[in-house]
């Protein structure tokens, strides 16, 4: 079969113009016009990690419309024509969660031809680490619900979103040992124990308190706030915050956080 021309017709749903394309082409041999649905689009899906009560969590949304209505998946959306993909990821997160200026990094593109049932859609995965205290989850846009799930409670998600989630968890486990990005999951002020528990949870290891303490303090990555925890039912721990200048220096020369 040889083609001469393609005519592609785009259906419009809710102003998201890239939702569906119908490809029409002429089969030169038979002369017939053949019409088929096709997708040749790029989306973004975000894995948003949070941390609460010593457990790693991920933000999922319930779709309000379309073929995945009522099912849970990663928040995501379409890339607009005039924005870069990083901008798109930031915009989508702003729309979906109301926060900007967070730690956001591209994971990779997922492009199995069958990953999306209606046609070919390549998605670019991003992952973000957020301080849960900073914002309220609210379902917006095309989501009917949005909720934090502990990693263990995540069940079947739409499309290949389980795969994307697993990949990003693996990626996070690696990254967290090479850059001090874990801080992005904690509140502004935190104790050393909280930080240690974060590493224990993400890396799935047991750590020794005195040794962890020594190691992390030697890096000089933490600024002592000269404050203590309030309203705790035990000896109050010192509060620290994370020093972005030192962080910058450390990441530039590359460093190792082996625990």
| Helix 161-178 with 192-203: angle, nearest 10 deg | 130
102-110, 148-156, 215-223, 238-246 -> range binding a copy of itself (CB under 8 A): 102-110
152 touches which of a copy of itself, DNA, none (CB within 5 to 8 A by kind)?
none
- 3-state SS, the chain, equals CCEEEEEEEEEEECCEEEEEEEEEEEECCCCCEEEEEECEEEEEEEEEEEEECCEEEEEEEEECCHHHCCCEECCEEECCCCCCHHHHHHHHHHHHHCCCCCEEEEEEEECCCCCCCCCEEEEEEEEEECCHHHCCCCCCCCEEEEEEEEHHHCCCCCCCHHHHHHHHHHHHHHHHHHCCHHHHHCCCCECHHHHHHHHHHHHCCCCCHHHHHHHHHHCCCEEEEEEECCCCCCCCCEEEEECHHHHHHHHHCCCCCCC
Query: Considering the rule CB under 8 A, would residue 38 count as an interface residue with a copy of itself?
Result: yes
Interface residue with a copy of itself among 32, 69, 138, 173 (CB under 8 A) is: 173
Query: Considering the rule CB under 7 A, would residue 91 count as an interface residue with DNA?
Result: no
| CB closer to a copy of itself out of 143 and 202 | 202
| CB closer to a copy of itself out of 108 and 214 | 108
Question: Closest Cα partner for 86 from 102, 110, 109, 106?
Answer: 106
Interface residue with a copy of itself among 33, 70, 98, 106 (CB under 8 A) is: 106
Query: Considering the rule CB under 8 A, would residue 90 count as an interface residue with a copy of itself?
Result: no
Query: Considering the rule CB under 8 A, would residue 209 count as an interface residue with a copy of itself?
Result: no
Binding to a copy of itself (CB under 8 A) within 212-251 occurs at none
Residue 59: alpha-carbon gap to chain centroid: 8
Q: How far is the CB of 235 from a copy of itself (least distance, A)?
A: 35
Interface residue with a copy of itself among 135, 178, 209, 217 (CB under 8 A) is: 178
Question: Closest Cα partner for 251 from 189, 200, 176?
Answer: 176
| CB closer to a copy of itself out of 110 and 242 | 110
| CB closer to a copy of itself out of 36 and 227 | 36
Binding mask 70-89 for a copy of itself (x = CB under 8 A): ---------x-xxxxxx-x-
Q: How far is the CB of 45 from a copy of itself (least distance, A)?
A: 12
Tell me which residues touch DNA (CB under 7 A). 191-193, 208-211, 213-215, 218, 228, 232-238, 258-259
Tell me which residues touch a copy of itself (CB under 8 A). 3-10, 12, 17-18, 21, 38, 40-42, 79, 81-86, 88, 106, 108-113, 120, 122, 124, 173-174, 177-178, 254, 256, 258
């Amino acid at each position: 079969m040889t083609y001469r021309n393609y005519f592609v017709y785009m259906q419009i749903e809710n102003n998201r113009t890239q939702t569906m394309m119908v490809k029409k082409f002429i089969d030169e041999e038979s002369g017939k016009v053949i019409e088929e649905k096709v997708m040749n689009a790029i989306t973004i899906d975000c894995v948003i990690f949070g941390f609460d009560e010593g457990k790693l969590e991920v933000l999922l949304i319930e779709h309000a419309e379309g073929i995945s209505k009522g099912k849970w998946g990663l928040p995501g959306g379409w890339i607009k024509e005039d924005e870069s993909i990083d901008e798109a990821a930031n915009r989508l997160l702003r729309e979906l969660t109301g926060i900007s200026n967070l730690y956001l990094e591209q994971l990779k593109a997922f492009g199995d031809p069958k990953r999306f049932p209606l046609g070919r859609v390549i998605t670019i995965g991003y992952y973000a680490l957020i301080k849960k205290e900073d914002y309220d989850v609210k379902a917006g846009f095309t989501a009917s619900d949005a909720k934090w799930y502990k990693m263990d409670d995540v069940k079947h998600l739409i499309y290949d979103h389980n795969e994307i989630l697993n990949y990003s968890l693996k990626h996070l486990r690696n990254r967290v040992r090479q850059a001090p990005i874990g801080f992005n999951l904690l509140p502004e002020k935190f104790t050393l124990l909280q930080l240690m528990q974060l590493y224990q949870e993400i890396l799935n290891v047991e750590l020794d308190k005195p040794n962890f303490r020594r190691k992390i303090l030697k890096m000089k990555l933490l600024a002592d706030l000269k404050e203590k925890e309030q309203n705790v039912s035990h000896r109050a721990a010192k509060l620290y915050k994370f020093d972005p200048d030192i962080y910058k220096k450390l990441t530039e020369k590359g460093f190792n956080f082996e625990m």
